[in-house]
Amino acid sequence: MDARKPHSRESLQRLLRPRNIAVVGGREAQIVAEQCDRLGYAGTIWPVSPKRDQIAGRPCLKRLEDLPEPPDAVFIAIPAEPTIEAVGMLAGTDAGGTVCFASGFREVGGQGIERQERLIAAAGAMPMMGPNCHGFVNYLDGAALWPDQHGGVRAERGVALITQSGNIGLNLTMQQRSMDVAYLVTLGNQGAIGIPECIEALATDERVTAIGLHIEGLGDIGAFERAAIAARTAGIPMVALKTGRSVTGAEIAMSHTASLAGPDGLYDALFERLGVARVRTIPELLETLKLLSIGGPLAGNRICSMSCSGGEASLMADLAEGHAVEFPPMEAGHRERVTATLSELVSVSNPLDYHTFIWGQEDQIAATFTAMMSGGYDLSMVVLDFPRADRCDVSTWWPTVNGIARAAEATGGRAAILSSMQESLPEDVGMHLAGRGIVPMMGMAEAFTAIECAALIGRGRANGIPPALLHPAPPTHAGSRVYDEWESKRMLAGHGLSVPEAALVTSSTEAVAAAEALGYPVAIKAVSAEIAHKTEAGAVALNLIDGDAVDAAATRMLGLSSRVLVEKMVPDSVAELIVGIDRDAQFGPYLVVGFGGVLVELINDSHTLLLPTDRVQVRAALQSLKTAPMLTGYRGLPVADLDAAIDAIMAVADFAAAHADTILELDVNPLMVRPAGMGAIAADALIRLAEPK
């Protein structure tokens, strides 16, 4: 159970932006005071230690009760049990908040769990970071409640980094990627303050340009949702490095849906919904934050690349494959403008190899770059690796830097200088570029990830704030009921899902009569809540064209169940989709759409959406599938009725929302999508709802 108490943004802001600080303890308390001094913290620091006379040149108070006033922030570095006592005393004095360094709490299990519960109770409504926590560094104001060295410097504005790991936080401060850091916050055990609370507090600081998250897990999805929307409303983009992609997938239940989504897919769906970009590595996190911090989100993913080497141009084109970025071909007039600035020996294209004919000639370089950027790209990049300054002359590289800066100013376009290696863009050069509004990017693959992330955030902003997630109560009933195909289809039809003409019979004679009435060809299926996957059980026969075939199939099916379903076949299906609902303890019911049919797990092509959803999100999900060309006339196939497919998916989503407190599983597989204007029909369906035993 999440024992954290709610804290107002204002109370946490007081801790994060303290006017005065108390440090409690010995060695670690001294380091905190020294780190504040190193950053030029202008506020008052009160050391508290019964054993020391002074800390960092300041006389020590012997007890917390001796503090002249309730401090805004307190760093506590004493053993676990005294920490609880100190926190309780501070909470009763209107202190702003604490960082609890001590370990021995929930992370050790056993008595540590009970000890952390007592610590949380002692803190009450006072913000408390930790326990088992390194704390935070506020580089904007020089407040470093941080008991270790770090690699950061004062900044006027920059990105905020939030991590659950003290060591990863420490490593992040050592970055040399020419990116200003405003805050580093580490959270340890998250006893009273978690990621959502920090996001909300930091989003109110106008000096924060972007927020980067390292997430091991989220305890409260609703709180994260509210925090992400608060940051989005404030115009602060967020990037998440969520670990756990390799966790074994969800256990497969009766339906196919759980096997398609997996637990990590739900985080993908959450981040996508909230406009939070997700990355896989720390370099990707830093490059994406840097791009967002200097220039903000991108309106789209149309880019150009300029380099004086054909090898670099080819490498850029190759590495763009697999990323959601586009090197659009140049229109005739645009090509002519660029060609006019270059030697006749240069072949003009995008990516552009402008050769070395104009190397070192700033006016000519600026003219070429300006002509290239007149194409209206969302981001224009110059590939430029600086030589080692300790062994080489770098002076002839600066005309290229000045040229792109002049081109960006002339066109109003966004520009970046991209080095293929981190080593070949020195930090001082990168900071100079950032000061001129040119993004200093390092690593081609990381740059493409950053671009697609910045474009994703830009699209998300254009789509507006999503509706609140369902957040239903978890099912409280111990039992569940599986509804057979006949019942499931009738239930879903009540919410607008199209199903085939059909009859439910109990004998082969009735089956033949029903088939004659419906018209051939027909399908015969055994109807039983115990048969989830009919093909594997031999419980379905398709494309039966006469009475003898129906009689034989029905006789066989009646050996599997007491009832048989006779259905009119759908003869002109263009594509088969799966539409499923599954349930997660944290996220509640969620929707999966993907390539369907008997090979659904083998193809494994699906997209997960959290609920509620809308037609825009569903359409985008379908278009994101690898098999999406099947819906748009692939190799001469008819164009599918995409609108009807979306209608069907929305009917399933509507059913799930109406049964949010009880739905456990739902499968429509396959959903037969017919040619444009002909509709989409559910060929099979299964529903499982929670019920009392």
pLDDT at 364 over 60: yes
Q: What is the pLDDT of residue 600?
A: 74
Q: What is the pLDDT of residue 256?
A: 45
Q: Which residue has the higher pLDDT, 376 or 602?
A: 376
Is the separation of the CB atoms in 198 and 131 below 8 Å?
A: no
Place of tokens 């599983």: 665
Q: What is the pLDDT of residue 243?
A: 86
Q: Name the token pair of 250.
A: 């969800």
Nearest to 671 by CA among 577, 551, 565: 577
Is the separation of the CB atoms in 665 and 254 below 8 Å?
A: yes
Close Cβ partners of 608 (under 8 Å, ≥ 6 residues apart): 260, 261, 265, 266, 268, 269, 590, 591, 592
Mean pLDDT computed over 202-206: 96
What is the C-alpha end-to-end distance of the chain, expressed in Å?
26
Mean pLDDT computed over 458-473: 89
pLDDT in tens, 159-192: 999 998 999 999 999 999 999 999 999 999 999 9
Segment holding 172, helix H or strand E: helix 166-173
- pLDDT level of residue 245 (50, 70, 90 thresholds): low
Is the separation of the CB atoms in 686 and 258 below 8 Å?
A: no
- pLDDT level of residue 261 (50, 70, 90 thresholds): low
| Percent of the chain with pLDDT strictly greater than 90 | 86
- pLDDT level of residue 624 (50, 70, 90 thresholds): very high
Segment holding 380, helix H or strand E: strand 379-383
Supply angle C-alpha 162, 111, 12, rounded to 5: 30
Mean pLDDT computed over 368-387: 97
pLDDT in tens, 264-285: 889 999 999 999 999 999 999 9
**Measured between alpha carbons, how far is 345 from 356 in angstroms, rounded to an integer?**
11
Mean pLDDT computed over 583-597: 91
Q: Name the token pair of 644.
A: 């009807």
Please list the alpha-helical segments (H only) found in 174-309.
195-202, 221-233, 257-274, 282-295
For residue 589, whether the previous peptide bond is cis, meaning omega lies within 30 degrees of 0, is no
pLDDT at 599 over 80: no
pLDDT at 82 over 90: yes
pLDDT at 97 over 50: yes
Q: Which residue has the higher pLDDT, 88 or 693?
A: 88
Please list the alpha-helical segments (H only) found in 280-397.
282-295, 310-320, 332-339, 362-373
**Measured between alpha carbons, how far is 357 from 342 in angstroms, rounded to an integer?**
8
Residue 77 CB neighbour total at 10 angstroms: 22
Determine how β-strand 143-145 pairs with β-strand 158-163: unpaired
Nearest to 205 by CA among 226, 239, 182: 182
pLDDT at 249 over 50: no
List the helix and strand counts (H, then E) for the chain.
22, 30
- Alpha carbon 490 to its chain centroid, in Å, reads 37
Please, what's the b/e burial string for 591-614 (b: 16 or more CB within 10 A of its CB; e: otherwise)? Answer: bbbbbbbeebeebebbbbbbbbbe
pLDDT at 476 over 80: no
Q: What is the pLDDT of residue 254?
A: 43
pLDDT in tens, 410-428: 999 999 999 999 999 999 9
Q: What is the average pLDDT score of the chain?
A: 93
pLDDT at 557 over 60: yes
pLDDT at 601 over 80: no
**Measured between alpha carbons, how far is 582 from 589 in angstroms, rounded to an integer?**
6
Strands (DSSP E) found in 468-539 = 479-483, 502-505, 522-527
- pLDDT level of residue 463 (50, 70, 90 thresholds): confident
- pLDDT level of residue 376 (50, 70, 90 thresholds): very high
Beta bridge partners of 680: 673
- The amino acid that residue 425 corresponds to is L
Which range of 232-246, 438-452, 569-583 scores highest in mean pLDDT? It is 438-452
Is the separation of the CB atoms in 190 and 214 below 8 Å?
A: no
Q: What is the pLDDT of residue 247?
A: 45
Mean pLDDT computed over 129-154: 96
pTM greater than the 0.85 cutoff: yes
- pLDDT level of residue 598 (50, 70, 90 thresholds): confident
- pLDDT level of residue 6 (50, 70, 90 thresholds): low
Place of tokens 């690349």: 305
495 to each of 487, 489, 644, 667, 685, how far by Cα in Å? 13, 10, 14, 15, 14
pLDDT at 440 over 80: yes
Q: What is the pLDDT of residue 437?
A: 96
Place of tokens 């676990």: 80
Three-class HEC string of 263-296: HHHHHHHHHHHHCCEEECCHHHHHHHHHHHHHHC
Place of tokens 């997660």: 584
Q: Which residue has the higher pLDDT, 391 or 692?
A: 391
Is the separation of the CB atoms in 13 and 204 below 8 Å?
A: yes
Q: Note the residue count of the chain.
A: 693
- pLDDT level of residue 602 (50, 70, 90 thresholds): confident
pLDDT in tens, 342-358: 999 899 999 999 999 99
Q: Which domains does the chain have, with CATH numbers?
A: 9-245+280-291 (3.40.50.720), 298-459 (3.40.50.261), 501-568 (3.30.1490.20), 575-691 (3.30.470.20)
Supply angle C-alpha 96, 98, 102, rounded to 5: 170
Q: What is the pLDDT of residue 477?
A: 74
pLDDT in tens, 518-555: 999 999 999 998 886 777 778 899 999 999 999 999 99
Q: What is the pLDDT of residue 250?
A: 35
Three-class HEC string of 420-453: CCHHHCCHHHHHHHHHCCCEEEECHHHHHHHHHH
